[in-house]
A and B are shown apart, each in its own frame.
Chain A
Amino acid sequence: MADAEKIMEIEVLRYRPEQEQEPVLQTYKVPFTDDTSVLQGLQYIKDYLDGTLSFRWSCRMAICGSCGMMIDGKPKLSCKTFLRDYYPGKLRVEALAHFPVERDLMVTIKDYVKRLEGIKPYLIPKQARTLDEGEYLQTPQQRDRYMQFSACINCMLCYAACPQYGVNPKFIGSGHMALLHRYNADSRDGGSDERMGPVNEEDGVWGCTAIGYCSVVCPKQVDPAHAINMYKAKSSLNYFTRFVAPKDADK
């Protein structure tokens, strides 16, 4: 039988704050077939072996961005990573790197969400239109300018890939910069100036040292490393042009 059931040993880094001072490894034996994802492996553990295991998931099809975790040391979506690719052998699953571990495979994302608000991830129209004036139009060519950057699902794998974020959790990180650029590059948007604050500040784009691993692990080919690095030039330009043409000059 081609699809015979095999057994995979999954090591999970457990952390239950009420009973452990620091995370500990726990191994489970999980039966799997060719189409069993790591997420399904964890669901098997929760359903049949250990109901206390905590992890986040929702869509099971790489669009909700909930199930990111470290799989054998690499940030991946557990729904689109398959046990067959690690067989034979053991597989280690840990909570996303560089974030504080809340419980087991779940991380604390409070700071991440807070910073997300700061970049104003919504369209700020150049000129507000009334309903009578109709929708904001855009050509396919204008859409192509930001299309790639709009594919971000906020899975945070890029943050788990970024040692700079690990060292300084205040660093804006490439994921937010991709989203920031998605709006700045939109022909309907006029909020670029308002978004330069978080770009220029101490924990802005200059914390990036172009390691580039964020783009490698991105499951949606957003290329966040590109987004953050191109803003270094914009940030420099913004710094010098403010002397030439101060913003408040006309007031």
Chain B
Amino acid sequence: MSSQRPYVRSMDGWWTRNAYYMRYMAREVTAVFVAAYAVVLLVGVVRLSQGEAAFNGWLQALKSPLSLVFHLVLLATFVYHTWSWFNIMPITMPVMFVGGKRVQPRTITATGLVAAVIACAAVFFFVRGTQP
């Protein structure tokens, strides 16, 4: 007589079992904030199509204290999103060799982060340059 009766453990609340899983969930949830910001920008485009007064109203709304706090939260989540994105970038790329040596994961992450900083600075200075 076989007494085999494999026991399957529950996966309920799996992401609370380990700090690593919680960081993963935090990384994934930042995508929601990225989507939220895309919606804010899309509203701006819609308001632009409705004329100057509508667009200026949207700009004015962005300057409200609530909006400023919201944008600060967005900024914080975007920084984490960017960092976590480039942190997993090495595992998504093929194994690369340069001059016979393996490109180290930290080199790929650092290159991505530097590129992100340069892109942000370029956009910032470009926008500031266009201000009257």
* Residues A74 and B6 in contact, CB atoms below 8 Å apart: no
Interface: B102 (CB within 8 A): yes
Contact of B21 among A22, A101, A211, A233 (CB under 8 A): A211
> B8–A100 contact, CB under 8 A?
yes
The reply to whether A101 and B100 contact each other, CB–CB distance below 8 Å, is no
User: Could you show 9 A-B contacts with beta carbons less than 8 Å apart?
Assistant: A100-B6, A100-B8, A102-B4, A108-B6, A144-B97, A163-B14, A163-B21, A211-B24, A233-B94
Whether, in the assembled complex, A25 has its beta carbon less than 8 Å from a beta carbon of chain B, the answer is no
Partner of A225, one of B5, B7, B17, B91: B91
The answer to whether A73 and B17 have CB atoms under 8 Å apart is yes
How far is A185 from B59 in the complex, measured between Cα atoms in Å? 54
A101 with B6: CB separation less than 8 A: yes
State whether A144 touches B102 (Cβ < 8 A).
yes
B91–A223 contact, CB under 8 A? yes
CB distance from B24 to the nearest CB of A (A): 5
How far is B90's CA from A209's CA once the two chains are assembled, in angstroms?
Answer: 14
Interface string of B41-64 (1 = CB under 8 A from A): 000000000000000000000000
A233 to B91, CA, bound (A): 11
What sequence of 0s and 1s flags, for each residue 80-123 of chain B, a beta carbon within 8 Å of any chain A beta carbon? 00000000101111110100101000000000000000000000
**Which residues on B sit within 8 Å (CB–CB) of A102?**
4, 6
Interface residues, chain B, with chain A CB atoms under 8 Å away = 3-9, 11, 14-15, 17-18, 20-21, 24, 28, 88, 90-95, 97, 100, 102
User: A232–B24 Cα gap in the complex (Å)?
Assistant: 19
A23 at the interface (CB under 8 A from B): yes
Among A73, A101, A216, A226, find the residue whose CB has the most chain B CB atoms closer than 10 A: A226
Q: Bound complex: CA of A66 vs CA of B110, how far in Å?
A: 37
Measured CA separation A78–B22 after assembly (Å): 25
A-chain residues with CB within 8 Å of residue B18 when the two chains form the complex? 73-74, 213
Residues of A within 8 A of B92 (CB): 210, 229-230, 232-233
**B15 / chain A contacts, CB cutoff of 8 Å:** 163
Q: Are A212 and B7 within 8 A (Cβ)?
A: no
A198 at interface by CB-CB < 8 Å: no
* In the complex, chain A residues whose CB is within 8 Å of the CB of B4: 17, 102
A97 at the interface (CB under 8 A from B): yes
The docked-state distance in angstroms from the alpha carbon of A229 to that of B21 is 18
- Name the CB-closest residue of A to B10: A166
Q: Are A100 and B11 in contact (CB under 8 A)?
A: no
Contact indicator B21/A97 (Cβ below 8 Å): no
Given A17-B5, A141-B100, A145-B95, do A210 and B21 touch, yes or no (CB 8 Å)?
no
A97 x B9 contact (CB < 8 A): yes
- How near does chain B come to A60, taking the closest CB pair, in angstroms? 27
Does chain B have a CB within 8 A of A167? yes
Q: Please name the residue on chain B nearest to A145 by beta carbon.
A: B95
Tell yes or no: A37 within 8 A of B by CB. Answer: no
Give me 20 other A-B pairs in contact (C-beta within 8 A), A15-B7, A102-B6, A213-B18 excluded. A17-B4, A17-B7, A23-B7, A23-B9, A73-B18, A74-B18, A98-B11, A101-B8, A145-B95, A145-B97, A163-B11, A167-B11, A210-B88, A212-B24, A213-B24, A229-B91, A230-B91, A230-B95, A232-B92, A233-B92
Q: Which residue of B lies closest to A213 (CB)?
A: B20
